[in-house]
Amino acid sequence: MPFSQDRFRELKADGRLPSPSGVALRLLELLRQEDVPIEDIAHAMQADPALSGRLIRFANMAFSGPRRPVVSVTEAIQRSGLDVVRQIVLGFSLLAHNRTGACRSFDYSRFWSRSLATAIAANSLCLRVRAAPAEEAFSCGLLADVGSLALATLYPKEFAALLDAHRGESGRVLAESERREFKTDHAELGAAMHEDWRLPRLYVEALQHHENPDAAKVVQGSRDYLLLYMLSLAAGIGSYCVSGEIERKALVPGLVLMAAKIGLDADVLGTGVDHVVAEWREWGKLLEVKTQDVAAFEQHARPPEAPDPDRTKPQPGAMAMSILIADDDPTIRVTLEHLLRQQGHRVAVAVDGREALTLAIEVKPQLVISDWVMPELDGVALCRRLRETQEGRRMYFILLTGMTDDEELVEGFEAGADDYVTKPLNARVLTARLRAAERVIRMQEETQRDTENLRKFATELALTNRRLQQAALTDALTGLPNRRHLIERLNQERAIASRNQRPFALMMIDVDAFKQVNDAHGHDAGDQLLVRIAALLRQEARVEDIVGRLGGDEFVVICPGANLAMGVRLADRLRQSIAQFVLQLGNQSVQVTISVGVSQQDTAPTVADDILQRADAALYRAKREGRNRVSGLSLGNPGAQASK
């Protein structure tokens, strides 16, 4: 069943809860009375010189401003106020009488050292953010985690087992096991004790939730909000003080983020932490609480190195993005960088708008998060400059701003911004904005991939079409233009001849006795012969001549600018080259000849078939006259003829 007030009263009556004793109890009794003279309280306190000295020390520390130092107990009580004195007496008394205990796994020395640092930090922070009276914040910080001390006192063996099982884990994880084991947790039990000791209600609620402030239902910017995050930051500084160097460096980004929530930048935080460390060491000597040397905050606050991509990965389903941060405020830069790296994103950082513009061109981030107000180039000007470039138009742009005026926001959107986030930063809101940006970036990249795929497909299709067209116009065996291609080129040459008033010659070539080669040596040998003849024709023809295969053993050569006589001479040169060629087939040698018919196209328009028929007729005459010959007929002048 849940922890109840009846159960708390039972524990209190049983005397098992940590409580003050001796002089402290008498003082608390006096402080509960109305109209008790301050002199009586001072007289009772002086019975404990150590407690008196601690109260005077606190009174001089807790109040800021140029005041005369407190030197007497009476003055310390007057300056602090009776409520604060009650809390201070309570806290110091608990510390004095609970330095050790029976819980073997509970580090009593570390507990009080951290509590003292938390108290000093709470006091120091309240002097800056004014969330509550600084003197009250000290005692609240000192008692912030008293619930853990209570569990160690009430259940030493059981609590030791839980501490061993959850060593190194957060207080929230430990609290879940505490509730299963003890029907309460250290935060809930501590809140009951705070209320019983009459701490202000405002503090009781803040202390109960300070380990997990994001889960508390408080209005952002309210006094409750500032007090809650102030106490959470104070507890973080307490942990920072008692941790080792490696742990301390890991805590810094969280402290910076928490400080940003209450309006403190990294420089102010660093100065404050160093001051807390110095005060903590002084108080440690006074209260006999163990402290340690701590290096300057600046040394731990250096920007983190790029994470190992195998260790830092985006959340399941999320996309790791390349992000550029542009902000002149070191607090915002460190906070954003830590948050984004934790989510697995790749981060580049710029300290002003001009550096951001240079980095954006170099890194080409998918997303830019830029402060509105910056030196060199402000966020709006940076956005405009990026939108003028092709790469910059694709970048998702988020403005960081403290402005909420509609006209100013409209200016940002008109400059090209996609979204904005208000300051102080809220991690949950920023994460939600990043998810929205991720959806847009993912869609943009998918669209770009689709466009690139379409472009690639179109290129491949065009290439395929060219190959198909080439295949449709090329003879598969010889690689020469085929009949279709030859007819197209023949028509082109006819048009040129008509337009330029110049003739051209056409050769029709046939391999003599080709059937005998096939019959004697097989069709493979015949194919080899045709391939070699095609190569020889291409080699011996002029550069401008077009050599092609009509089919079978017939070839055609178009000779631009040649008349019949020149065509016959060119044909005879080809005939002689072929006659000298010998094809070696195994142990046998094959020698062939060709017969050529030449036709001349005059300048008068004709059809392609007429030219081919005339060349074919000339070829037939060459074969009839004995083969291995050249015969020519003019199409424009049928009477004109030549032969060799």
Residue pair 215/232 in contact (Cβ under 8 Å)? The answer is: no
With cut-offs at 50, 70 and 90, classify the pLDDT of residue 108.
Answer: very high
Percent of the chain with pLDDT over 90: 26
Task: State the residue for tokens 């701003």.
Answer: 401
The pLDDT of residue 5 is above 80: no
Radius of gyration of the chain (CA): 48
Max Cα–Cα distance, the chain, nearest Å: 151
**What confidence score (pLDDT) does residue 458 get?**
77
**What confidence score (pLDDT) does residue 374 get?**
87
Q: pLDDT tens digits for 61-81?
A: 755 555 678 778 888 888 777
Reported in sequence order, the residue ranges of 211-304 that DSSP labels E, i.e. its strands, are: none
- CB count within 10 Å of CB 435 equals 12
**What confidence score (pLDDT) does residue 312 get?**
42
The pLDDT of residue 373 is above 70: yes
Residues 6+ apart with CB under 8 A from 79: 59, 63, 70
Cα–Cα distance for residue pair 137/123, rounded to 1 Å: 5
Cα–Cα distance for residue pair 119/278, rounded to 1 Å: 13
The amino acid at residue 458 is: A
> For 351, which DSSP code?
S
With cut-offs at 50, 70 and 90, classify the pLDDT of residue 309.
Answer: very low
**What confidence score (pLDDT) does residue 619 get?**
93
The pLDDT of residue 567 is above 90: yes
| 253-275 average pLDDT score | 83
Cα–Cα distance for residue pair 615/166, rounded to 1 Å: 101
Q: Enter the pTM of the model.
A: 0.54
Secondary structure (DSSP) of 23-39: HHHHHHHHHHSTT--HH
The pLDDT of residue 521 is above 80: yes
Q: pLDDT tens digits for 144-159?
A: 898 899 899 989 999 9
The top-scoring range by mean pLDDT among 84-93, 183-192, 312-321, 450-459 is 183-192
Reported in sequence order, the residue ranges of 561-622 that DSSP labels E, i.e. its strands, are: 582-585, 588-591, 594-601
> For 474, which DSSP code?
B
- Smallest CA-to-CA distance from 612 within 497, 477, 491 is with 491
Residue pair 151/157 in contact (Cβ under 8 Å)? The answer is: no
Cα–Cα distance for residue pair 565/447, rounded to 1 Å: 65
Residue pair 120/134 in contact (Cβ under 8 Å)? The answer is: no
Task: State the residue for tokens 């509590």.
Answer: 115
Cα–Cα distance for residue pair 504/502, rounded to 1 Å: 7
- Smallest CA-to-CA distance from 540 within 511, 513, 580, 510 is with 580
**Strand 588-591, strand 582-585: pairing:** antiparallel
Quick one: tokens of 247? 């742990």
Sheet containing strand 396-401, strands side by side: 346-350, 322-326, 367-371, 396-401, 419-422
The pLDDT of residue 534 is above 90: yes
Which residues are 398's β-sheet partners?
Answer: 369, 419
Higher pLDDT, 507 or 87: 507
Dihedral pair phi/psi, residue 211, rounded to 5° = -75, -20
Task: State the residue for tokens 């460390």.
Answer: 277
**What confidence score (pLDDT) does residue 560 get?**
92
- CB count within 10 Å of CB 341 equals 18
Cα–Cα distance for residue pair 507/540, rounded to 1 Å: 14
> For 596, which DSSP code?
E
End-to-end CA distance of the chain: 122
**What confidence score (pLDDT) does residue 306 get?**
45
Cα–Cα distance for residue pair 284/54, rounded to 1 Å: 11
At 420, which helix (H) or strand (E)? Answer: strand 419-422
Q: pLDDT tens digits for 456-508?
A: 887 777 787 787 777 778 888 999 999 989 988 888 888 888 888 888 899 99
What is the average pLDDT score of the chain? 83
What number of helices (H) and strands (E) belong to the chain?
A: 28, 13
Quick one: tokens of 606? 């004709």
Q: pLDDT tens digits for 14-32?
A: 667 777 767 777 777 777 7
Residues 6+ apart with CB under 8 A from 305: none
Cα–Cα distance for residue pair 125/229, rounded to 1 Å: 10
Cα–Cα distance for residue pair 106/306, rounded to 1 Å: 36
- Smallest CA-to-CA distance from 423 within 310, 336, 549, 301 is with 336
| 105-131 average pLDDT score | 89
Quick one: tokens of 19? 């409580």
Cα–Cα distance for residue pair 516/585, rounded to 1 Å: 14
The pLDDT of residue 1 is above 50: no
Quick one: tokens of 463? 């290439």
Burial readout 215-253 (b: 16 or more C-beta within 10 A, e: otherwise):
ebebeeeeebbbbbbbbbbbbbbbbbbbbeeeebbeebb
Cα–Cα distance for residue pair 29/78, rounded to 1 Å: 18
Cα–Cα distance for residue pair 7/13, rounded to 1 Å: 10
The pLDDT of residue 45 is above 60: yes
Overall residue count recorded for the chain in this entry: 644
**What confidence score (pLDDT) does residue 104 get?**
92
The pLDDT of residue 347 is above 80: yes
**Strand 367-371, strand 419-422: pairing:** unpaired
Q: pLDDT tens digits for 577-590?
A: 999 988 887 777 88
At 574, which helix (H) or strand (E)? Answer: helix 564-579
With cut-offs at 50, 70 and 90, classify the pLDDT of residue 316.
Answer: low
